[in-house]
Amino acid sequence: MQNNWQEKLQEDFSFMKQNPVEEEKNLYRHYGFECSGGWYDILHDCCKKITERYEEAGVSIDFVPAQIKEKFGTLRFYYGYEDTPCGIAAMDFIGSGISIRFDPDGDSGETESLEARNKGRLRGDIAKIVRTAEERSKTTCEWCGDNKTASLRTNLGGWIGTLCDSCASKYIEKRNQRRKELEAKIRK
Ligand SMILES: [Zn+2]
């Protein structure tokens, strides 16, 4: 995993540029990635495929990341387009583990122009690319990127995360250590 993975993604893909100033309303641009670097490869592949798909279509990139975060242990990559901003085009229902998602596709209708059809197709493909990335996060350790033993862990004591065997043990070890320290403090 890259140490400077967040910078690298911004360098390689101009549409991923962040803007951490108070006035910035876009959650991604303001806060950056709300997940750990084990998912760097997933995010890099996703942005690369998006770039290639625009190149294939021969149009300039109007994809706008809206929020990129870990939720319920997996990657959520919310996005919109310059002409259809995301706003946060997603509603997460806490507890249910289900989120309703709207893919901001292009206009549809029988009288649509070739240009509109191509745009719809492009955006449909981008939705697939993003969904593939989110799927990959289900079997990729969020901390180290391992994809052999990584799985969704519900036994971490509160936090639900996708971690590999080794990172999960480290997490539990640290948690137990903290608990012991806390107990020792209380006993004093
Ligand atoms: Zn790991």
| Structure confidence at residue 2 as a pLDDT band (50, 70, 90) | low
- Cα of 151 from ligand 1 centre, angstroms: 10
Sign of CA dihedral 128, 130, 131, 135: positive
Q: How far is the CA of 149 from the centre of ligand 1 (A)?
A: 8
The pTM of the full predicted model, rounded to 2 decimals, is 0.83
Look at residue 88 in the predicted model and tell me its pLDDT.
54
Q: Give mean pLDDT, residues 61-82.
A: 96
* C-alpha 158 – ligand 1 centre gap (Å): 18
| Residue 99 domain flag | yes
pLDDT for the residue numbered 40:
98
182 domain residue, yes or no: no
Between the CA of 13 and the centroid of ligand 1 the distance, in Å, is 26
**CA–CA separation, 38 and 106 (whole Å):** 32
Q: How far is the CA of 79 from the centre of ligand 1 (A)?
A: 27
Classify 162 as helix, strand or coil.
strand
C-alpha span between 53 and 88 (Å, rounded) = 23
CA of 59 to the centre of ligand 1 (A): 38
pLDDT higher than 90, residue 22: yes
Q: Which of 39-48, 84-93, 124-133, 134-143 has the lowest mean pLDDT?
A: 84-93
Range of the domain at 132: 5-140
Residue 32 and residue 10 in contact, taking contact as beta carbons nearer than 8 Å? no
CA 153 to ligand 1 center in whole angstroms: 12
Tokens of 143: 């901390």
Give 173 Cα–ligand 1 centroid separation in angstroms.
14
Q: Tell me whether residue 12 is in a domain.
A: yes
What is d(CA 140, CA 146) in angstroms, rounded to the nearest whole number?
6
Split at pLDDT 50, 70, 90, the class of 95 is: very low
Q: Please, are residues 109 and 91 in contact by the beta-carbon 8 Å criterion? A: no
Output the CA 160–ligand 1 centroid distance in Å. Answer: 14
104: in domain: yes
pLDDT at 137: 98
Phi first, then psi: give them for residue 96, nearest 5 degrees.
Answer: -80, -25
CB atoms under 10 Å from CB of 7, counted, come to: 11
pLDDT tens digits, residue range 99-113?
445 455 544 555 678
Q: How far is CA 180 from CA 24, 176, 186, 187, in A?
A: 42, 6, 10, 11
Asked if residue 185 is part of any domain, the answer here is no
What pLDDT sits at residue 91?
Answer: 43
Ligand 1 centre to CA of 162 (Å) is 9
Gyration radius from the chain CA atoms: 19
Average pLDDT over residues 165-179: 94
For residue 118, is it within any domain? yes
Nearest to 164 by CA among 4, 36, 10, 6: 36
pLDDT at 9 over 90: yes
Q: How far is the C-alpha of 97 from the C-alpha of 132, rounded, in Å?
A: 18
User: What DSSP line would sit under 65-89, residue for residue?
Assistant: EEEEEEETTEEEEEEEETTB--SS-
* CA 52–ligand 1 middle distance (angstroms): 30
What b/e sequence results for 143-152 when a residue is b if at least 16 CB atoms lie within 10 Å of its CB, and e otherwise? bbbbbeebbe
Span 130-165, pLDDT tens digits:
999 999 999 999 999 999 999 999 999 888 999 999
* pLDDT the model gives residue 112: 76
- What pLDDT score was predicted for residue 46? 98
pLDDT band with cut points at 50, 70 and 90 for residue 172? very high
25 CA distance to ligand 1 middle (Å): 33
- How many distinct structural domains can be found in the chain? 1
In a domain, 179, yes or no: no
129 falls within a domain: yes
